Chains A and B, each alone.
Chain A
Amino acid sequence: MKLGYFPGCSLESSAREYNESLQAVAPLLDLELCEVPDWNCCGATAAHSLNHKLALALPARTLALAERAGFDELLVPCSACYSRLAATRRDLLANEALRQEITSIIELDYVGSTKVVSVVDVLGRAAPTIRAKASVPFLRKVACYYGCYLTRPASLTTCARPEDPQEMEAIVASAGATPLDWAFKIDCCGAALSVSRTATVAELAGRIVADAAERGAEALVVACPLCHTNLDLRRPAIERHRGVSYALPVLYITQLVGLALGLSERALGLHRHHVPVRFAPGAAAPAAAPKEN
């Protein structure tokens, strides 16, 4: 299946491994990712909190380019990008005058034929394939962390239970993992405060890591670059703040699926994480200890 692909800025930089793992997993699930030519920043946070039209024009341009390229669906792995693009599509379709205004600003037409989908949407549909191809089942207890934007606002996403989502649980289960019932899966990680107010992030992200660890999770699973940054890169700040150290790796859901599909740790970019991806000897070593590591 051919999908338009909008990696967004994070997947080119701080979340390279999300991009790498997604690109590695896609062909195994019969997904062909076609990057939208000349895409631009979605404007998350900076634009949408300051300038309403800019906040619509930036995503609209990428949507228009994807539509011009003829994609039915545009895969947007970053939760913030996903929210901005989906919101823009909804707003433009609901208001013809606005649509005309924005399309004249970006000098490209957009009629809304391209839909926006998340990694969780796409992997959810591929769950039967994952189950069938999982040569190295990921037999560990994991805590699926959704963050804010993946399931909310409820009117924007396809999530059936926005306050208690189950979609990621279904995906990791198809890869052999045991999803845990825990308390913080839709709490905020601190998101963009990662740069400006690390102390706040340490508290917010700290609760998430602590609860997952206390309930016996062997890994946190995420589907958002910003969540990953706060839970992984900011781990030292969390540990200082709480005075406890946690050996709890944070995996992108694509990495977990990739491991189950037998891909190597390097191919999935696990070496890029700040918190080492190491597991206690258990039912199955991840990726069956690949040689090239």
Chain B
Amino acid sequence: MPRIGVFICHCGENIGATVDAAAVAKAAGELPGVVHAVDYKYMCSDPGQNLIKEAIREKKLTGVVVGACSPRMHEPTFRRACAEAGLNAFLCEMANLREHCSWVHEKLPETTEKAIDLVRVMVEKVKRNRPLFPINVPITKTALVLGGGIAGIQAALDIANAGHPVVLVEREASIGGHMAQLSETFPTLDCSQCILTPRMVEVAQHPNIRLYTYSELESLEGFIGNFKAVIRKKARGIDEATCTGCGACIQKCPTKKIPSEFNAHLGHRTAIYVPFPQAVPNKPVIDRAHCTYYRTGKCKLCERVCPTKALRYDQEDLLVEVAVGAVVVATGYEVKGTDFFPEYGYGRYKDVITGLQFERLASASGPTLGAIRRPSDGQVPETVVFIACAGSRDPAKGLHYCSKICCMYTAKHAMLYKHKVHHGRPYVFYMDIRAGGKMYEEFVRRAIEEDQVSYIRGRVSRIYEKNGKLIVKGVDTLLNSRPVEIAADLVVLATAMVPQPDAEALAQKMKISYDGDRFLNEAHPKLRPVEMNTAGIFVAGACQAPKDIPETVAQASGAASKVIGLFSKDELSREPVVAVVNRTAPPLFSTCVGCFLCETACPYQAIEREEIKDRNGNVLKTVARVNQGVCQGCGTCVALCRSKSIDLQGFTNEQVFAELVAL
């Protein structure tokens, strides 16, 4: 038999002024199963809580209903009080007599009647409550960081410096990412590599960081605190332990005309290569698609010149399994190629280049050693047109969003060009100038005023080649909307920032959500900006949305601090409001019929498949099982379940139907 105690709070005048609390308590006392019902001025005060504790002990209560304020206010208070008196905290429920009754209705008999109704409903619910216990999940205190650009580097260093092991996975042969490709950074014009390379070295030398370059995530399973990641370490073709990075192989490699990815295809590399001289680790890889040996079976020149005999032509991909407790996704971005723009020549014109290519032209380590020379004939361009918003903010192209960094880097490009070619004429076509950021607006003004970059507010409709010039046709919408034609030597498109081509595949592999543009979705756009919806997975950098270096670094440190916070505990404790699939005696085992509708409905991938086997190991049936570490307790699965086999603790079908019957 249930023994329920009901405690009605006056909340001073807040409830008492419109609801007759004594009458509510009296009516509650007459409800079946209620053995104790009192009212009190301030139930949340110490004496009020003591009333509850004493009643639990003296009347041996099996459930408590507190008719007071919103459970969102004081449910933790009263549940704690119950627990202190030896009653399971989850056997305490609250009826919201203040926010939902006394504060919103007049002092009328109906209002007290409603209060009685609300208490009765909760009494019926609490009769069906079961003791629940917080769920404890152990935590593996190792972090996996995906992506070795500035975001991943920052996150890895922050976590490692806090004393936790980090596994950093980078798909290219070196860490550094796009930031390593940049010439100088806005708004300070400091050299990108100069500020980045010390961090790269720090990563390589950090005792807490295990670095996997030329590697990719193969699979990720598990849940917060307990992930199992498999990393594919692609075959480099060399033994990293033996290789000293002397570079003799690279110098002798006969295949020299491969477009260099690092130089955005403006320069060349060899078949055995390091992406750039400052690479970390400074160990080459063999590009098997281009290597003469792999293509023809003959050559092995690199092996002959290698002083340490480090070449391993028959090396195979290696799968490495690591146990981690948290993951930071920092896989970065890519820029749209010029072939995306039919009206700008669809990639046909060699001198229509992307912003990233211009970075390489302007970089001291680039193919022109920092001289601005156009790709077609190596001439110094006298007139350069920069087109901002090339693809961005253009719904007709399918990219409706702002790439955020282009206004700034376009101003920087025009400035760098002017600094290197003093007599040059830079033009910038723009829609708006978005220079929100510390010293950003000042930077753009400097480009316009000091370096005399001609800013033209308008779009470019077409580029065509005529007599060796690129004719850029556009409009100046500020000067009475005049059409403008500029005969340029070089055109730089501030092409849109897009996610990595395989961003979607990676997100699906990790079961994390992404938006229509394939950027990863943070858990809350304002309040949980570095967490993914899947607990234990965090996000940093441009894989979440276009952002510049300062923002990326801030987000990476934010993600790292979340990971460090998670790792500050040995176990994860959480509310037991989770779904459960029922279990019954053999031969049924569970009423679950294994349709797995719940699996498709679950936003958290908390539904697992469990095989029920007999003693001989034969599978009798496959039923759903809820991973309590992952389940967040929304209950969508419960509403969908055809056989009513899955239920939500704290909001069971039995409880909710009882509430309705009591109305």
Contact = CB atoms under 8 A, between A and B. Distances in A.
Given A154-B396, A183-B471, A163 B466 contact: no
A162 B471 CA distance: 20
B485 to A, nearest CB: 10
A163 B342 contact: yes
A183 B461 CA distance: 11
A241 B519 CA distance: 53
B515 interface: no
A183 B466 contact: yes
Interface string B313-357: 000000000000000000000000000001100101000000000
Contacts of B466: 183, 211
A211 B471 CA distance: 12
B488 to A, nearest CB: 14
B455 interface: no
A164 B343 contact: yes
B462 A161 contact: no
A211 B464 CA distance: 11
A211 B396 CA distance: 28
A161 B342 contact: yes
Contact of B464 (A154, A162, A163, A183): A183
Contacts of B343: 163-164
A182 B348 CA distance: 13
A18 to B, nearest CB: 27
Contacts of B464: 182-183
Q: Is the interface of A mostly helix, strand, loop or mixed?
A: loop
A183 B396 contact: no
Interface string A148-189: 000000100000011110000000000000000111001100
A183 B462 CA distance: 8
A135 B159 CA distance: 75
Given A183-B462, A183-B466, A164 B346 contact: yes
Contacts of A164: 342-343, 346
A163 B461 CA distance: 8
A164 B344 CA distance: 9
A206 B348 CA distance: 26
Nearest to A187: B462
A154 B342 CA distance: 14
Contacts of A162: 396
Contacts of A181: 348
Interface in B607-639: none
Nearest to A155: B396
A213 to B, nearest CB: 13
A131 B187 CA distance: 59
B91 to A, nearest CB: 57
B590 to A, nearest CB: 51
Nearest to B346: A164
Interface string B445-481: 0000000000000000110101000010000000000
Interface string A251-270: 00000000000000000000
A163 B304 CA distance: 54
Interface string A66-77: 000000000000
Contacts of B471: 183
Contacts of B462: 163, 183, 186-187
Contacts of A161: 342
Interface in B517-558: none
A127 B112 CA distance: 81
Contacts of A187: 462
B393 to A, nearest CB: 16
Contacts of B342: 161, 163-164
Interface in A173-210: 181-183, 186-187
A182 B461 CA distance: 14
Contacts of A154: 396
A137 B348 CA distance: 29
> Which of A182, A183, A186, A211 lies at the interface centre, i.e. has the most chain B CB atoms within 10 A of its CB?
A183
B356 to A, nearest CB: 23
A186 B342 CA distance: 12
B306 to A, nearest CB: 49
A154 B160 CA distance: 52
A209 to B, nearest CB: 15
Interface string A82-120: 000000000000000000000000000000000000000
A183 B472 CA distance: 11
B112 to A, nearest CB: 50
Contacts of A182: 464
> Which of B346, B464, B471 lies at the interface centre, i.e. has the most chain A CB atoms within 10 A of its CB?
B464
A187 B342 CA distance: 14
B55 to A, nearest CB: 65
Nearest to A164: B342
Contacts of A186: 462
Nearest to A160: B342
B285 to A, nearest CB: 38
B472 to A, nearest CB: 11
Nearest to B471: A183
A293 B92 CA distance: 102
B469 to A, nearest CB: 12
A210 to B, nearest CB: 11
A146 to B, nearest CB: 13
A173 B464 CA distance: 22
A184 B461 CA distance: 11
Nearest to A163: B343
A178 to B, nearest CB: 17
Nearest to B348: A181
Nearest to B342: A164
Contacts of B461: 163
A144 B420 CA distance: 42
Nearest to B343: A163
A30 B325 CA distance: 69
A187 B346 CA distance: 18
Interface string B252-280: 00000000000000000000000000000
A163 B473 CA distance: 13
Interface in A207-226: 211
Contacts of B396: 154, 162
A152 to B, nearest CB: 10
A191 to B, nearest CB: 16
A4 to B, nearest CB: 30
A163 B341 CA distance: 9
A222 B464 CA distance: 21
> Which of B342, B461, B466 lies at the interface centre, i.e. has the most chain A CB atoms within 10 A of its CB?
B342
Contacts of B346: 164
B552 to A, nearest CB: 33
A290 to B, nearest CB: 37
Nearest to B345: A164
Interface in B90-116: none
Nearest to B463: A183
A162 B396 CA distance: 10
A268 B464 CA distance: 34
A187 B471 CA distance: 14
Interface in B348-369: 348
B387 to A, nearest CB: 14
17 contacts: A154-B396, A161-B342, A162-B396, A163-B342, A163-B343, A163-B461, A164-B342, A164-B343, A164-B346, A181-B348, A182-B464, A183-B462, A183-B464, A183-B466, A183-B471, A186-B462, A187-B462
The 6 closest A-B pairs by CB, nearest first: A164-B342, A183-B464, A163-B343, A161-B342, A163-B342, A154-B396
Interface of A: 154, 161-164, 181-183, 186-187, 211
Given A164-B343, A164-B346, A183-B466, 12 more contacts: A154-B396, A161-B342, A162-B396, A163-B343, A163-B461, A163-B462, A164-B342, A181-B348, A182-B464, A183-B471, A186-B462, A187-B462
